[in-house]
Amino acid sequence: MTWFTVLIVAVALERLAELVVSKRNAAWSFARGGVESGQRHYVVMVVLHTGLLIGVLVEVWLRQPTFLPALGWTMLGLVLAAQGLRWWCIVSLGHQWNTRVIVVPGLPRVTGGPYRFMSHPNYVAVVIEGIALPLVYSAWITALVFTLCNAVLLWVRIRVENRALTSMSVAAPAGPTSVQATP
């Protein structure tokens, strides 16, 4: 269980790194006239994602499930793949990526990287991680609760993003959305 705790701490540190990048990019966007949408659900998103990390540790330490190697190692592989996809999104969006929904009028939508394949690849990473991270150590309760809550949050979040992007008078070609993030 100690190594699993180290994994969760590593994920938490990665989230802090994302927040540093996000804060820098949000300042960049606001300096260029960026307009923020969806502030009301942002706090819920932060609490939910923090709850995932705390919840999985609490479940593993209290319930002490058995580590199942076939499941655990497969899920760890999915967690690592989700991290790779998340950072591919961050790099592809450049200054336009942050954890909030901020759209800079006049900027073209990003259509490269994973955005050439789908509109919301970062949320694919979030869904995969929300299921896989707890299941690395058989924490199925956390995986289930987070996944259900996250489905509701993503339903709201994606609608906010899509509305923000279509309401802006951007002179850009149609394509995948350019605002995607997680805390």
Tens place of pLDDT per residue across the chain (183 aa): 899 999 999 999 999 999 999 999 999 999 999 999 999 999 999 999 999 999 999 999 999 999 999 999 999 999 999 999 999 999 999 999 999 999 998 888 888 999 999 989 999 999 999 999 999 999 999 999 999 999 999 999 999 998 888 876 444 444 444 454 444
What Rg value do the Cα atoms of the chain yield, rounded?
Answer: 17
Quote the pTM value. Answer: 0.86
CATH of the domain at 15: 1.20.120.1630
Give the number of other Cβ atoms within 10 Å of residue 44's Cβ.
Answer: 14
182 part of a folded domain: no
96 part of a folded domain: yes
Q: Which SS3 state, helix, strand or coil, does residue 101 take?
A: strand
131 part of a folded domain: yes
pLDDT score for 111: 86
176 part of a folded domain: no
172 part of a folded domain: no
175 part of a folded domain: no
How many domains is the chain partitioned into structurally?
Answer: 1
40 part of a folded domain: yes
Query: Are residues 85 and 149 in contact, defined by beta-carbon separation less than 8 angstroms?
Result: no
71-76: long-range contacts (C-beta < 8 A, 24 or more apart)? 71/135, 71/138, 72/135, 72/136, 72/137, 72/138, 75/131, 75/132, 75/133, 75/135, 75/136, 76/7, 76/132, 76/136
Query: Are residues 140 and 153 in contact, defined by beta-carbon separation less than 8 angstroms?
Result: no
Q: Determine the Cα–Cα distance for residues 110 and 144; give it in Å rounded to an integer.
A: 33
Give the number of other Cβ atoms within 10 Å of residue 141's Cβ.
Answer: 15
Provide the residue range defining the domain that includes 128.
2-167
pLDDT score for 176: 45
160 part of a folded domain: yes
pLDDT score for 171: 41
